[in-house]
Amino acid sequence: MTNKEVLAELKKSYIYVEDLIDNAKISEEDKNSLRLARGIIEENYYNFYKELDKEEVRIVYKNEFTGFIGEDVFYDYISYNENGEEEYYTCEDIDYFWYEDKVFLEN
């Protein structure tokens, strides 16, 4: 499993847990347990991401977007404008879901 595949699995797990918290008809106690799990996923994603080379998480999509996978699981992408300021984007913003792109993940 590549490092990007590990990030993708953590990202998808986070999305699934978020969906359960927001939409499942479960008790508040169960939702609290899921919130704990979500926090653990967030921490593991961030810690794993910090160990990676920045070039490993670079995204160039259709020569229209250049940036990086977000360092926090709840951010999809981060880019820097000409002033060096951070700009955040969602997968929907650029119509590209990095965590579903098998070619990107396997390289």
Per-residue pLDDT of the chain (107 residues), as tens digits, is 999 999 999 999 999 999 999 999 999 999 999 999 999 999 999 999 999 999 999 999 887 789 999 999 999 999 999 999 999 999 999 999 999 999 999 98
Distance CA 49, CA 44 (A): 8
Q: How many domains does the chain have?
A: 2
Q: Do residue 77 and residue 46 come from a single domain?
A: no
Q: What pLDDT, on a 0 to 100 scale, did the predictor assign at position 62?
A: 84
Q: Do residue 38 and residue 74 come from a single domain?
A: no
pTM, two decimals, is 0.90
Q: Do residue 14 and residue 44 come from a single domain?
A: yes
CA nearest to 58, candidates 34, 77, 37, 32: 77
Q: Do residue 35 and residue 66 come from a single domain?
A: no
Q: Do residue 28 and residue 62 come from a single domain?
A: no
Q: What pLDDT, on a 0 to 100 scale, did the predictor assign at position 59?
A: 93
Backbone angles phi, psi at 65, to 5 degrees: -135, 130
Provide the β-strand partners of residue 46. Answer: none
Distance of CA 75 to the CA centre of its chain: 6
Q: Do residue 85 and residue 70 come from a single domain?
A: yes
